[in-house]
Amino acid sequence: MPIPTDMPSSRNSWDSQNSPDRRPTIVLIGHGMVGQRFLEAAAERGLTATHRIVVLCEEPRPAYDRVQLTSYFAGRTPDELSLTDREFIERHGIELHVGDAAERFDRDARTVTARSGRVFAYDTLVLATGSYPFVPPVPGKDATGCFVYRTIEDLLAIEEYAKARATTGAVVGGGLLGLEAAGALRGLGLATHVVEFAPRLMPVQVDEGGGAALLRTLTGMGLTVHTGTGTQEIVTGDDGAVRGMKLSDGSELATDLVVFSAGVRPRDQLARDHGLSVGERGGITVDERCRTSDPAVYAIGECAQASDGRVYGLVAPGYEMAETAAAAIADTECAGFTGADLSTKLKLLGVDVASFGDAHGAAEGCLDVVYADSRSGTYKKLVMGAGGELLGGILVGDADAYGLLRPLTGTVPPLPAEQLVLPAGAGAAAALGPEALPGSAVICNCHNVTKDAIRACSSLPEVKKCTKAGTGCGSCLKVIGQLLPKSGDSGLCGCFGQTRQELYEIVRALRITSYRALLDAHGRDAARGGEGCEVCKPAIGSIIASLAPTIGAGGHVLDGEQAALQDTNDHFLANLQKNGSYSVVPRIPGGEITPDKLIVIGEVARDFGLYTKITGGQRIDLFGARVEQLPVIWTRLVDAGFESGHAYGKALRTVKSCVGQTWCRYGVQDSVRMAIDLELRYRGLRAPHKLKSAVSGCARECAEAQSKDFGVIATASGWNLYVGGNGGATPRHADLLAQDLDDAGLVRLIDRFLMFYIRTADRLERTSAWLERIDGGLDHVRDVVVHDSLGIGAELEALMADHVTHYRDEWADTLDDPERLARFVSFVNAPGTPDPTVRFVPERRQIKPDLPLLALGTRPLEGSVAP
């Protein structure tokens, strides 16, 4: 249960301040992430039993996850960001005072005076005051509409101002926090600028090549980035509110909201005022045991300058300092804090960015191995020592291998460096496994947890409970999952101990119609009452949608709880493109279309200025629609008889066909009719992954049916059914399931196959991977589907019949509901205003996204590997 933040006065109403307590007292000043970790480390070492612990917290709420601060704009509440709860505080007898900052302390008398006037005696004082945002000393920096980006209260203020008074925002600073802030402004519907004084974004974490890849991707999302220039002045209007910015390159920006996120500084003023030693560039100086120049005073986290002369601004070193200080106070064995790994993995505006080790190649004689593909926004660089050892690296756009590469730092990798930088699926993540890592490799950087420590556990909940691995930034979770024994936790995620297959059966048998009900009744104990996670929400949403007619789960994909469970594209029933526009894909069953319908598509494309492309699935994509245009476009398409093509969903996409017997002299069956029948039968069918199909009218296979999830090839005697094929990065040839089927037999087996797949596949598992994973493989699937070995054939057919009977077009239903239509706006605070960042330029008599080319200088060719 989160700690309440609306307590009267500044004193926590459930502390033990009034109780006589003659134990030695520890006073902790600051209750951020590092302060909370100190309390946990103190409890683990028995200090809460031997000492009285008093915490003075300046903010009006207890410790929360500042790393995930931006997730507030994605729907997480302040309570969900909380890092502690009432039970922990009460169980350990901690006296927590929120909203009551420490004003001063007396080192001789060993007392601390809080803002409320209360005085606390201490035997040991721990300073965890963190850092404060640096605001450049420019004219107008205190104007109305200027903010910093550091606390939940800052976010609440930004949100309120943006909705009431702003349409354009600018962020001063293009580092980690600056891009987080830019993502928040973009999420609030503001046209967003980023101003960075350095020549590239994230100059601390990435090099020129990585910065260029990041810049290309972010400008493609609609952000306007200004690098190599600073802020000279904030321009204000007569009312004292922000109206623009003057930059050092002479240009001006029109903006009505400014967020300063130009770095942080150690919050060491309290220590300075009371004579503690402070570093020349800031930070309270501490020794290896985190003691300050006063042996009774410790400093941890961003306010401290470690014994190596550095101030660490990441959470992992702060946690290590917290544990060091707790061990020193408890007088237990401690290695001491002499420095920390600055490796980090982030997701900024949906873009993976990671760096580790000697990322900038400072070591003498080192060499770079680089892979760059500006088309996909991917940049990878590994820094290799003269002896072949991996020294560090930078990953932008594809950081899938981070969890495996970082622990190999300082060793000679088991594979050539050129192979380690290849794209996901072909590089380190595919070629290396966790088995390649030594037992001493640190898997969780936040909590310094090794591979051996994780291997000692049998499930993810046990790993989190015993080692805290996976509870920090979360970048290690994938590798942790690979390290755990298969006989351990096979649950869908941390919220559910059941597999997807088991949850499917629970939903079907108990007719559970909501995610909330399933989580509360069948989630893990720690998950009940929570909000779930990004893994199980779309998976459960898919299960409920697949079973909706059978379990009585009515409702539209955009209604109520269901809307919150969907993957990103489902929110607007359209595919989001790289410049922030959307594509429109009407269904064209079997690829057959009348001239009148072709004319309607042409008129819509012409009237809305859309780019048109005939796809490999025999449909026509219309690209470049703004979100507020989608309902207007679909009104015309629905009126002409079109319906949603489900290009945005994990559902049936297309059933492709050749012209078949009707026109082709080689055709032996009517492939067009069969393709149309199958597409109309399975349209809207939600599944663990997308489904593609094709029907070929003869063995010449013009429709490429053997590369589909289910494909049909005509024979002189009927139809052959193939299953489990796919194209893509790892193509798989489909397997023959049954042959010479009549129409009714073909449909019956496809019904059974699809419902058996939906019933037993894992989340996001294609039919090809499912067929290779499932026990018994193709033979087992054939026994179940063709020979009905489990006696469930009729049940599977009934489930499909329910789907077919209750199918409704999602776009037609959306257009009939004003509440659903209300979501289709670019800006919630200005519904009629189009997004000015969605721009296009002409190309080949059509349009393409306006994504400015970058002058990247000398760099490897796109898609090349350069030593």
Q: What is the domain-level CATH number for residue 74? A: 3.50.50.60
Annotated binding site for [4Fe-4S] cluster: 658, 664, 698, 702
SS3 487: coil
Residues 270, 256 share a domain: no
Percent of the chain scoring above 90 in pLDDT: 51
Answer whether residue 11 shows pLDDT above 80: no
93 in the same domain as 41:
yes
Q: Judge if 183 and 165 occupy the same domain.
A: yes
492 is a domain residue: no
Q: 206: which 2 tokens?
A: 């990435």
Q: How far is CA 53 from CA 43, 122, 316, 663, in A?
A: 10, 9, 23, 85
What is the pLDDT, as a whole number, of residue 189?
85
Going along 589-689, which residue ranges are E strands? 611-614, 620-625, 652-657
766 shares a domain with 712: yes
3-state SS, residue 786: coil
In a domain, 9, yes or no: no
The mean pLDDT of 714-726, rounded to a whole number, is 94
For residue 802, which of 682, 630, 670, 644 has the smallest C-alpha distance? Answer: 682
Domain boundary among 379, 399, 432: 432
> Is the model's pLDDT at 850 over the cut of 90?
no
Torsion of CA 343, 348, 353, 354, to 10 degrees: 10
Rounded Cα–Cα distance for residues 295 and 290 (Å): 10
Q: 614 forms bridges with which residues in the sheet?
A: 620
Q: Is the pLDDT of residue 407 over 90?
A: no
Question: Is 97 inside any structural domain?
Answer: yes
Of the three residues 404, 432, 460, the one that is the final residue of a domain is 432
Helix, strand, coil percent content, the chain, rounded in steps of 5? 35, 20, 45
Dihedral Cα 549, 555, 561, 566, nearest 10 deg: 70
Cβ pair 380, 395 in contact under 8 A: yes
Which of 9-18, 313-322, 636-645 is the most confident on average? 636-645
Output the pLDDT for position 635. Answer: 96
Q: What is the pLDDT of residue 682?
A: 96
Indicate if 606 and 734 belong to the same structural domain: yes
In this predicted model, which residue has the larger pLDDT, 12 or 422?
422
In the chain, the number of structural domains is 5
CATH number at residue 695: 3.30.413.10
Q: Which pair of tokens denotes residue 106?
A: 């007396």
In this structure, the answer to whether residues 359 and 311 fall within a common structural domain is no
First to last CA, the chain: 53
Average pLDDT over residues 618-645: 94
Q: Are residues 615 and 750 in the same domain?
A: yes
Q: Predicted confidence band at 859 (pLDDT cuts at 50, 70, 90)?
A: very low
pLDDT at 423: 67
Instruction: Tell me whether residue 819 is in a domain.
Output: no
Whole-number Å distance between alpha carbons of 383 and 370: 9
- Minimum mean pLDDT range among 9-23, 35-49, 130-144: 9-23
At 465 the pLDDT is 78
Is 80 exceeded by the pLDDT of residue 475?
no
Give pLDDT, residue 563: 62
At 641 the pLDDT is: 95
Indicate the SS3 state at residue 142. coil
Q: So what's the pLDDT on residue 829? A: 66
Q: Which two tokens stand for residue 95?
A: 């006296």
Query: What is the Cα–Cα distance from 165 to 145, expressed in whole angstroms?
Result: 9
Can you tell me the mean pLDDT for 824-851?
81
What number of residues does the chain have? 867
The 10 Å Cβ neighbour count of residue 670 is: 19
Q: Specify the pLDDT at position 548.
A: 86
In-domain check, residue 12: no
Name the average pLDDT for the chain: 86
Asked whether residue 441 carries a pLDDT value surpassing 80, the answer given is no
Could you tell me the residue range of the domain that residue 124 belongs to? 25-132+266-330
Report strand pairing: 95-98 vs 52-57. parallel
Arithmetic mean of pLDDT, 508-533? 83
Two tokens, residue 339? 């420095």
Most confident range, picked from 33-37, 407-411, 505-509, 827-831: 33-37
Residue range 765-783: average pLDDT? 90
Per-residue burial over 814-838, b = 16 or more CB atoms within 10 Å of its CB, e = otherwise: bbeeeebeeebbbbeeeeeeebebb
Residue 853 has pLDDT above 70, yes or no: no
Q: Cβ atoms within 10 A of the Cβ of 184, count?
A: 26
Under 8 Å between Cβ of 176 and 170: no
**Residue 748: enclosing H or E segment and its boundaries?**
helix 743-760
Residues 347 and 330: beta-carbon distance below 8 Å? no
Residue range 265-277, pLDDT digits in tens: 999 999 999 999 9
Amino acid identity of residue 241, one-letter, is: A
pLDDT value for 184: 87
Residue of 711, 751, 747 lying closest to 727 (CA atoms): 711
Count of Cβ atoms closer than 10 Å to residue 728 Cβ: 10
For residues 245 and 174, state if they share a domain. yes
List the single range of 187-201, 448-462, 783-797 with lowest mean pLDDT.
448-462
Q: Is it the case that residue 245 has pLDDT exceeding 70? A: yes
**pLDDT at residue 562 in the model:** 66
Residues 693 and 776 in one domain: yes
With a pLDDT cut of 70, the percent of the chain lying above it is 89
Together in a domain, 586 and 562: no
Least confident of 101-110, 427-436, 564-573: 427-436
Query: In the 3-class helix/strand/coil scheme, how is 34-97 assigned residue by residue?
Result: HHHHHHHHHHHCCHHHHCEEEEEECCCCCCECCCCHHHHHHCCCHHHHECCCHHHHHHCCCEEE
Residue 237 lies in a domain: yes
**Are 128 and 162 in a shared domain?**
no
Tell me, yes or no, whether 104 lies in a domain: yes
Q: Decide if pLDDT at 862 tops 70.
A: no
Integer angstrom CA distances of residue 112 from 37, 301, 321: 22, 20, 22
Contact 654, 597 (CB under 8 A): no
* Whether residues 190 and 283 fall in one domain: no
| Residue 10 banded pLDDT, cuts 50, 70, 90 | very low
The pLDDT assigned to 746 comes to 97
Q: Which of 225, 242, 262 delimits the end of a domain?
A: 262
Burial 690-707 (b: 16+ CB within 10 A, else e): bbbbbbbbbeebbbbbbb
Residue 570 has pLDDT above 80, yes or no: no
Feature table: binding site: 658, 664, 698, 702
Q: Which residue has the higher pLDDT, 355 or 528?
A: 355
CA 485 → CA 21, 454, 535, 639, 859, distances in Å?
Answer: 48, 10, 20, 55, 43
pLDDT of residue 828 exceeding 80, the answer is no
Question: Whole-angstrom Cα distance, residue 647 to residue 633?
Answer: 16
The phi-psi region of residue 794 (left if phi > 0; otherwise alpha if psi is between -120 and 50; otherwise beta) is: alpha
pLDDT at 855: 33
pLDDT of 613 > 50? The answer is yes
> Strand pairing of 367-373 and 864-866?
antiparallel
Residues making up the annotated binding site for siroheme are 702
The pLDDT value given to residue 560:
66
Is residue 465 a part of any domain in this protein?
A: no
Summarize pLDDT for 89-140 with one digit per residue, the tens: 999 999 999 999 999 999 999 999 999 999 999 999 999 999 999 999 999 9
**pLDDT reported for residue 224:** 93
pLDDT tens, position by position, 46-83 = 999 999 999 999 999 999 988 888 878 766 788 888 89
> What is the per-residue pLDDT for 404?
79
**With a threshold of 0.75, does the pTM exceed it?**
no
- Over range 533-544, report the average pLDDT: 85
Which CATH number belongs to the domain containing residue 364 in this structure? 3.30.390.30
The DSSP call for residue 447 is T
